[in-house]
A and B are shown apart, each in its own frame.
Chain A
Amino acid sequence: MDPKLDLLYRLADDQLILGHRNSEWNGLGPILEEDIAFSSMAQDKLGHSLQLYGLLHELGEAEPDTVAFTRNAPQFHCCQLVELPIGEYDFSLTRHFLFDHAELLRFQALADSSYEPLAQVARKLRGELKYHALHANTWMKRLGTATDEAIERMQAALNFTLPYALGIFEKTDAEAEIISSGLFIGEDELQSRWLESITKVLGQTALTLPDLATATPVFGGRHGQHTEHLQPLLDEMAEVFRLDPTADW
């Protein structure tokens, strides 16, 4: 696949799918402020996915709605982390923390992309993503220094989630060209910046980052291999669209 398309599909699909998962907290958050926070982040992420699908459309791909609502799981390039069900709040917060740190650093780097339309979008998104990282840090620090139960649950969530989070940095065949053409700094460099960033926050808590050397990254998502959770999500997300794809909203 063309390196630009390869990169954009991964970015856009991550945003769309995690945006949809975040929206599932709407009305269910443990406190009103958290209900609103996850709903707001969902809205941001859907907006971000629209910008990225818009770039794909400019490159000759189908309309954003068609791309978002008519593909099946094997055609999606999101990492498996974002498609997992919301689970308990400890998992959703931990996923949010691990994903959004990578996301903020990714778009900060993409602001210097050699592909100017993507750099323009990144310059916009990085400012918004700071709020996502701030929100995640606040709760990791708050719960990661709270009661024994809170610390145990957050630690268990971190242990479970980390291998999936490493899957964010799964490379594709286009990786070498993506780096050499200046499109993006590459997944290895991103992962090393991410590790530094999350370590700094976790250092202010009672939580311990599991040893990365012994963790097996959950790969496959970038190549269309997904968990059994993605297709039901897509079916639900596209249910209304598929009733009448030509409807004008």
Chain B
Amino acid sequence: MTDANSQQPIAKSQIMDWLQAVKDPEIPTISLVDLGVVRGVEIDEASGAVAVHLTPTFAGCPAMDYMKRDVERTLREHGIEQVQVDISLREAWSSDMISEAGRAALRQHKLSPPPVLGNVVFDLDFLEYAECPNCHQHNTELRTPFGATLCRAVHYCHDCRQLFEQFKPV
């Protein structure tokens, strides 16, 4: 593995690879990269400084400060001395930014991944298309759009008769 100390220019892909280790503080199976929270990485070749751009899933997400610190710490551990993390809404987060690997990671945490909205106008009927993370059926019903965290809704599966949480489509 290339290390920052080896004087080789660092590739963005290398940074993204390292950032795979930074997980969502509330959903430890998914990385910030796969969640779509990492929106960009810029490397200043002259100084070796790395700037990472993050965007929150929900504007009031209280975990952003933790995420910022985790990103800074992880890159420093790989020898990057100058790390700047900025958080903005320049590019509004959408649940479509969650990668396929991210969707698998959500399922692993027993969270139903949000349906992919594509370019269609987001209609709340999409909330009814939740996939049960236990039996993988869609015979489900929205119980409340507000769950344990801002990004989760609570559904009920009529097949396995269990409540489950969905990562909300936004």
B40 within 8 A of A: no
Query: A33 to B122, Cβ gap below 8 A?
Result: no
In chain B, what residue has the closest Cβ to A125? B59
Query: A40 to B124, Cβ gap below 8 A?
Result: no
- Give 17 pairs: A residue, B residue, CB < 8 Å, sorted on A: A33-B146, A36-B144, A37-B144, A43-B150, A44-B59, A44-B60, A48-B60, A50-B59, A51-B89, A123-B92, A125-B59, A127-B170, A128-B58, A131-B124, A131-B145, A134-B145, A135-B145
Question: When the two chains form the complex, which single residue of B60, B144, B145 contacts A43, counting CB atoms closer than 8 Å?
Answer: B60
| Overall SS of chain B's interface | loop
> Chain B: residues with CB nearer than 8 A to chain A?
58-62, 89-90, 92-94, 122, 124, 127, 143-148, 150, 153-154, 168, 170
Query: B59 to A41, Cβ gap below 8 A?
Result: no
- Which of chain B's residues have a CB closer than 8 A to the CB of A45? 60
In chain B, what residue has the closest Cβ to A135? B145
Further contacts, 11 of them, CB under 8 A, given A36-B144, A134-B127: A33-B154, A37-B145, A40-B150, A43-B150, A44-B60, A48-B60, A51-B59, A123-B89, A124-B92, A128-B150, A130-B122
Most chain A beta-carbon neighbours within 10 Å: one of B122, B127, B144, B147 = B144
CA distance A128 to B93 in the complex (A): 11
What 1/0 mask marks residues of chain A from 116 to 141 whose CB sits below 8 Å from any chain B CB?
A: 00001101110110110011000000
**Chain B proximity of A249: nearest CB distance (Å):** 10
Query: A44 to B89, Cβ gap below 8 A?
Result: no
A46 within 8 A of B: yes
CA distance A120 to B87 in the complex (A): 13
Query: B59 to A40, Cβ gap below 8 A?
Result: no
**Chain A proximity of B141: nearest CB distance (Å):** 12
> Chain A: residues with CB nearer than 8 A to chain B?
33, 36-37, 39-41, 43-48, 50-51, 120-121, 123-125, 127-128, 130-131, 134-135
CA distance A124 to B94 in the complex (A): 9
Query: A128 to B59, Cβ gap below 8 A?
Result: yes
The answer to whether residues A47 and B60 also contact, given A40-B150, A127-B170, A131-B168 and a CB cut-off of 8 A, is yes
Question: When the two chains form the complex, which single residue of A39, A46, A124 contacts B93, counting CB atoms closer than 8 Å?
Answer: A124
In chain B, what residue has the closest Cβ to A35? B146
Query: B145 to A127, Cβ gap below 8 A?
Result: no
CA distance A33 to B144 in the complex (A): 7
Query: A43 to B122, Cβ gap below 8 A?
Result: no
**Chain A proximity of B56: nearest CB distance (Å):** 8
CA distance A124 to B122 in the complex (A): 13
Most chain B beta-carbon neighbours within 10 Å: one of A45, A127, A128, A134 = A127
Question: When the two chains form the complex, which single residue of A36, A43, A121 contacts B89, counting CB atoms closer than 8 Å?
Answer: A121
Query: A128 to B146, Cβ gap below 8 A?
Result: no
Most chain B beta-carbon neighbours within 10 Å: one of A44, A125, A131 = A131
- Which of chain A's residues have a CB closer than 8 A to the CB of B145? 37, 131, 134-135
Question: When the two chains form the complex, which single residue of A120, A127, A130, A131 contacts B146, counting CB atoms closer than 8 Å?
Answer: A131
- Which of chain B's residues have a CB closer than 8 A to the CB of A51? 59, 89
**Chain A proximity of B55: nearest CB distance (Å):** 8
Query: B89 to A47, Cβ gap below 8 A?
Result: no
Query: B61 to A36, Cβ gap below 8 A?
Result: no
**Chain B proximity of A114: nearest CB distance (Å):** 17
Which 10 pairs show the lowest CB-CB distances between chains A and B? A47-B60, A40-B146, A124-B92, A37-B146, A127-B170, A47-B59, A123-B92, A131-B145, A33-B144, A124-B89
- Which of chain A's residues have a CB closer than 8 A to the CB of B170? 127-128
CA distance A134 to B122 in the complex (A): 13
Query: A124 to B146, Cβ gap below 8 A?
Result: no
CA distance A195 to B90 in the complex (A): 32
Question: When the two chains form the complex, which single residue of B58, B62, B146 contacts A36, counting CB atoms closer than 8 Å?
Answer: B146
In chain A, what residue has the closest Cβ to B93? A124
- Which of chain A's residues have a CB closer than 8 A to the CB of B148? 36
